[in-house]
Amino acid sequence: MGLGPGKKEYMTGRALAVIAEAEIVLGHSTYLEPIKSLLEGKQVISSSMGKEVDRASQAIDLAKTHKVAIVSGGDAGIYGMASIVLEVLEHDGAEIEVEVVPGVTAATAAASLLGSPLSGDYATLSLSDLLTPLEVIEHRLDTIFSVGIPVVLYNPKSRGRPHNFAIAVSHARHHLAGTTPVAIVKNALREGEQTIITTLEEIEDHESEIDMHSVVIIGGTESRIWRRGDDVKGIITPRGYHKKYVY
């Protein structure tokens, strides 16, 4: 199940109901901490980052005899636990009933803080090379930046891969103007929220502010900074109404 960005108020009613019904809740401690008031009287199995396969196996074993919820931040089907739980279940062969509960995904949570940077066609790409070889990631980056749609970068930087973000920026620069809007969004819609709005040619000045709790949105060819007077309010990617209508 997907918890959404983190704060309880961004969970869906269905997610709240599933937590309420569960006898056992498994998940990363970062995601369980903000919802601990919902976990009273339940068995809670929290784990640290990594160990996803172990957590999935444990959830499947427990689900043979109990109602189990295994939680992901954002949407469980986007860089979350849904796929590995289903793979382990398939391998195990147990006939357990499964429901995948969607949540507000990190890309749109981050986008909502910026105005409307995505708006239509977009892609999400992870810079983590733990499970995907770097050459595959680079090919995806280069190809997708070439069509000029906004791109949401997950795992832009973390221990063990400090250079992947600079590589991604260099691919973006091959295809997009230096003035293309870029935003760093840390902890969208949860404790520690912060947004930085800049451009592709100036993103290097802010690189040290990117951490593993950030996503980075790189605008497309139509994206522009949204200003009110001298204030930078966010990013707008128009959908094209301005070409058809006068307003």
| Footprint on residues 137-196 left by a second copy (CB under 8 A) | 139-140, 143-144, 146-147, 149, 189
By rule CB under 8 A, what string of x and - marks binding of each residue 22-51 to a second copy?
Answer: ------------------------------
- 122 touches a second copy by CB under 8 A: yes
Q: Does 118 bind a second copy (CB under 8 A)?
A: yes
**Cα(82)–Cα(71) distance, rounded to whole angstroms?**
9
Question: Residue 220 is which amino acid?
Answer: G
Contacts of 222 by beta carbon, 8 Å cutoff, 6+ apart: 148, 237, 238, 240
Q: Give the contact letters, 191-230, x = binds to a second copy (CB under 8 A), - = no.
A: -----------------------------------xxx--
The minimum distance between CB 110 and a second copy, in angstroms, equals: 9
CA–CA dist 10, 101 (Å, integer): 14
CB of 17 to a second copy, least distance (A): 7
C-alpha atoms less than 13 angstroms from C-alpha of 142 in its C-beta half-sphere: 9
Distance between CA atoms of residues 181 and 171, nearest Å? 15
Q: Among residues 95, 94, 99, which one has the least CA distance to residue 2?
A: 99
Nearer to a second copy by Cβ, of 48 and 208: the residue is: 48
Q: Amino acid letter at 86?
A: L
CB of residue 190 vs a second copy: minimum separation in angstroms? 12
Selected from 20, 29, 120, 191, the binder of a second copy by CB under 8 A is: 120
According to the binding rule CB under 8 A, does residue 124 interact with a second copy? yes
Strands 24-28 and 68-70: parallel
Sign of CA dihedral 82, 84, 86, 92: negative
Distance of alpha carbon 68 from the chain centroid: 24
User: Of 95, 97, 135, 230, which one interacts with a second copy (CB under 8 A)?
Assistant: 95
Applying CB under 8 A, among 19, 82, 215, 218 the residue interacting with a second copy is 82
